[in-house]
Structure 1
Amino acid sequence: MDDTTAVTSRRARWGLLAGAILMSMALGAYELVPASVTPLIRESLGVSASAAGLLVSVMFGTAVLASIPVGIVLDRTNSRYAVAVAVGLLLVAGVWGWQAATAGAYWSLVASRVLGGVAYIVVWNASIDIVARSFGPARQGTAVATLSAGGPVGFAIGQGTGPIVAEQFGWPAIFPIFTGIAFVGVLIFWPMSRGSGHATGTSAPTLSDLGRVVTNRRVWTVGLVGFLSYTLYLFINSWAPSYLTEDLQLSLGLSGALVALFPAVGVLSRVAGGVLSDTLFGGRRRPVVLLSFLVATPVITGFTAIRTIPVVVAALLIAGFAIQLCLGLVFAYVRELVEPAVAATAVAFLTSVGLAGAFIAPIAAGRLIDASNYETAFLVAGTLGALGAVLAWYAPEPGET
């Protein structure tokens, strides 16, 4: 089968999805793992809380800037080849990060994370484009949501094993170890994704077509939903470990293990979001998004009032499940609001706007914590969750005009 032949076999579809999920896991672990060893980073490099938060958020900031240009290129080129090149860049970024961290070169480490951010956004946008194209409309929401479940698995792996890696090999080793997983993923993805690099039956989009995507009010509404979802998601992932360590006096290892539950439950909730939308709600996306914010908001708002470990665990599981219920679904959602020829650009736009929240959250929360306390930071996060519920109420369905 050559590269112009469409992916039609069930084995190929599920094989490329498995490879894409493994790459997503690697990206998630590499992105978030500095948050699991923040106290070690601050002590070793002598940086502030917000500077340590930048090591997480810089990847998302890079993605914000690069996502739309990447999406435009993907709509005009072969997404499959783009994935392979990006994984190569990710391996380079991991080794570079290890060398910079070992040398105590903070800004060089930040630069390595910028390269990792470029690689991340190419793999993410291209994988969603390929997976969504390879599954029919009745399964598209479920397939994309399942792909996105690789992210929380990676986040959980990073949160839970980052301190262990740091103890055994030194904290700089967190960078090359987790990028290596992506190479295994691309080895699975590559042979199964033949013929999936281009959309079929559509002409190349014009600049006018692409411009209509980024000025579409419906696309912007879903983009803002993604912004608020990612803001809450990265806020908890970035600062809950430090909160548990500093305010509840838990060990760094235990804090990381507990907070790993927050992204880990996304393995279930992201898939559940797609299944609920495709089956229970007959393809409607808005009910699932609204439910996500309605459940997560009160838990986040009251999180700092919890002082016992079992209740902390329950709160992390509930909030993690609720927030991630829509995080995968929105990427299928936004594709359905535009024509197939510009679907990758719509995904890229959502990624850019959504990850702006991921970029801002760790830094802004760090500054807020430095200036006040954790209680204020969680209260602000809860307010953003309430805003998300209001926005979700007015979000459009794909079939609506």
Structure 2
Amino acid sequence: MATSLFGLAGVGSWYFASIGAYAPLLIARIVAGGGYILLWNAGLNAFGEFENRATSMSLFAASGPFGFAVGQLTAPLLAVGAGWSSPFLVYPALMIVPGLTLLSTTVPNSKNPDTPRFDEVHRLLANGPLLLICVMGFVSYSLYLFVNTWLPSYLDTELGYTVVQSGALVAVFPLLGAFSRVSGGVIADRLFGGRRRPILLCSFLVSGPLVASFLVVRRMALLLVVLFVTGYLIQLSIGLFYSYVPELVDARFVTAAIAFLSAIGLSGAFLTPIVASLLVQHFDRYTIAFAYAICLAALGTILVVMFNEH
């Protein structure tokens, strides 16, 4: 289903972009988002059944930023060579082979028990530790998408980098996430005996000053260093949030809780670029938008301090 939605949305996006129809293009991207959610939740549920779930779920979560990096690095090149709407066709086509492969693969039955009734799902809202993790996910995704969406524009309009240069620089950010999300799980399992709270605290505590440093760094070499460290630390915790879910809820609610966490986290990814755009437009400067991101990092630090891991 996810592959079908990606394919349908890709063809529609390419067509509507080619004729300059903005509203249908926006709808097509929403359809593509539905495919993403299906794929994301299914993968998290599957990888969450491993005993060393901090490592396994972080490994799956690392696939996302790797795709971001490939897209941000190659999309400008595709746009220059074949028109700006061409990536809408190219990237969904990459789903075809893995999608058909999964259809022809025998998947073992899930070890999860029966799905809870719809009227029982409201219990998730009364689970305090789960809600804390969900808000942390909201903050992490907000920081991730703030840097990922607004840094290219900032580099272009404020520092004078070209679109290709900005794309290449910012591609470093999600690419580091592929490594950091995996290493976060490995560090938690190997060095802290499964404890993840110290990693979450480090991620939020250091991310604020790093985001602020983008306002003062100008040279490309230093920008790369800051992007490397920021890209690693902001995304260090994303895979770990999901590993808490099987420990915080009854086994019957794991699938629903993962979907709940995804919804809250990705709402941060949706809202933050919009909030940042309003701040930039209203104040006509990027400083206020970056201050908003710094406040998010401070909020994340407070939430980790409030969270009791055991």
> What is the TM-score with the length of structure 1 in the denominator?
0.75
Counterpart of 1:263, as a letter, is: P
Q: Shift of residue 289 of structure 1?
A: 1.0
Q: Shift of residue 342 of structure 1?
A: 1.2
Partner residue, 1:307: 218
Cα distance change on mapping 1:386 and 1:368 into 2, 3 Å: same
- Deviations along 1:42-61, whole A, 9 cap, x unmatched? xxxxxxxxxxxxxxxxxxxx
Counterpart of 2:293, as a letter, is: A
- Deviations along 1:11-47, whole A, 9 cap, x unmatched? xxxxxxxxxxxxxxxxxxxxxxxxxxxxxxxxxxxxx
Q: Shift of residue 209 of structure 1?
A: 3.5
Cα distance change on mapping 1:395 and 1:191 into 2, 3 Å: farther
- Deviations along 1:292-322, whole A, 9 cap, x unmatched? 1112111002211111111111111111100
Counterpart of 2:116, as a letter, is: P
Partner residue, 1:175: 88
Cα distance change on mapping 1:343 and 1:319 into 2, 3 Å: same
- Deviations along 1:201-224, whole A, 9 cap, x unmatched? x23313354221233111110000
Counterpart of 2:13, as a letter, is: G
Structure 1 segment 252-263 matched on structure 2, within 5 A: 252-263=163-174
Counterpart of 1:211, as a letter, is: H
Counterpart of 1:389, as a letter, is: T
Partner residue, 1:41: none
Partner residue, 2:7: 91
Counterpart of 1:318, as a letter, is: V
Partner residue, 1:165: 78
Structure 2 CA distance for aligned equivalents of residues 193 and 367 of structure 1: 48
Match of 1:232 among 137, 140, 143: 143
Partner residue, 1:295: 206
Q: Is the counterpart of residue 381 in structure 1 residue 293 in structure 2?
A: yes
Q: Is the counterpart of residue 148 in structure 1 residue 57 in structure 2?
A: no
- Determine if contact 1:297/1:386 at 8 Å carries over to the other structure: yes
Q: Is the counterpart of residue 320 in structure 1 residue 231 in structure 2?
A: yes
Partner residue, 1:126: 42
Q: Shift of residue 188 of structure 1?
A: 4.0
Structure 2 CA distance for aligned equivalents of residues 213 and 380 of structure 1: 29
SS of match in other structure, 2:215: helix
SS of match in other structure, 2:115: coil
Q: Shift of residue 392 of structure 1?
A: 1.1
| Structure 2: gaps of 5 or more residues | none
Partner residue, 2:122: 211
Counterpart of 2:24, as a letter, is: S
- Determine if contact 1:199/1:341 at 8 Å carries over to the other structure: no
SS of match in other structure, 1:347: helix
> What is the TM-score with the length of structure 2 in the denominator?
0.96
Counterpart of 2:137, as a letter, is: G
SS of match in other structure, 1:396: coil
Structure 1 CA distance for aligned equivalents of residues 53 and 118 of structure 2: 27
Q: Is the counterpart of residue 390 in structure 1 residue 306 in structure 2?
A: no
Instruction: State the number of aligned residues.
Output: 309
SS of match in other structure, 1:336: helix
Structure 1 CA distance for aligned equivalents of residues 102 and 191 of structure 2: 31
Cα distance change on mapping 1:253 and 1:348 into 2, 3 Å: same
| Structure 1: gaps of 5 or more residues | 1-84
Match of 1:249 among 160, 172, 175: 160
Structure 1 CA distance for aligned equivalents of residues 34 and 178 of structure 2: 25
